[in-house]
Amino acid sequence: MLCLRDIGFAAAAGLLARHGLVLHGVADGAPIPGSYWGEPEAGVIGSAVHARADTPVHSLLHEACHLIVLPPDRRAMVHTDATDSVAEEDAACYLQVLLADVLPGVGRERLMADMDAWGYSFRLGSTRAWFEHDAGDAHLWLQQRGLLPAGA
C-alpha cells in the first residue's frame, strides 16, 4: 500500500492547502488525532488532516475529501467522523480518485488498487467498476457544488 512517506509530505500538504486544509504530520508511532479507523489511518479535526509517514495515501485523500465536500461552517465542527450522508461518502470516494491523479507517483489506478486492498466495498465489486459505471450520482453531486477538479 502506498503511504505518505512514499509520496512526500510536501506534495500532500500542497494539495490539501489548495483546498483550504492543513496537513499535520504526526511522529512515527504516535497516536493519530481524529483517526476514525485507528492508526495508521488519517484523522480529521476541523480543517486539519493528521497523518504519519505510514498513513496510506488512500486514507489521507479520503479523509481530506470528507472535509473538502463539507461547507466551511460544518468543516469547523468536524472531529474524527465527517460523514453526514451516503451522498457525502460517495462524493468523498469519487473525489479521492480524481485527486490521486494530482499527486506525483500516485494516480487513480494505484489508488483504486489500494482502496480495493484495504477493503472499500462497492455494489459492483471494485472501486474501478463503481467509479466507471455506478458513480454518476457522486459526479453530479460534486459538479453541482463546484467541487470537481478542472477537466473531470
| Residues near 123 by beta carbon (within 8 Å), at least 6 away in sequence | 130, 134
76-110 confidence digits (pLDDT tens): 899 998 877 889 999 999 999 999 999 999 999 99
Contact between residue 96 and residue 62 where contact means Cβ atoms under 8 Å apart:
yes
Neighbours of 42 (CB within 10 A): 30
Reported confidence tier of residue 35, pLDDT bands at 50, 70, 90: very high
Q: What is the pLDDT of residue 125?
A: 85
Residue 80, classed as helix, strand or coil, is coil
CA distances from 22 to 9, 14, 18, 68 (A): 11, 9, 9, 11
* Per-residue pLDDT reduced to its tens digit, 136-146: 999 999 999 99
Residue 72 banded pLDDT, cuts 50, 70, 90: confident
- Give the residue among 63, 68, 51, 65 at the shortest CA–CA distance from 3: 51
Q: In what order do the strands lie in the sheet with 48-51?
A: 22-25, 48-51, 43-45
How large a percentage of the chain has pLDDT more than 90? 83
CA 38 – CA 54 distance, rounded (Å): 12
pTM: 0.94
Q: For residue 71, is the peptide bond before it cis, meaning its omega torsion is within 30 degrees of 0? A: no
Contact 74, 48 (CB under 8 A): no
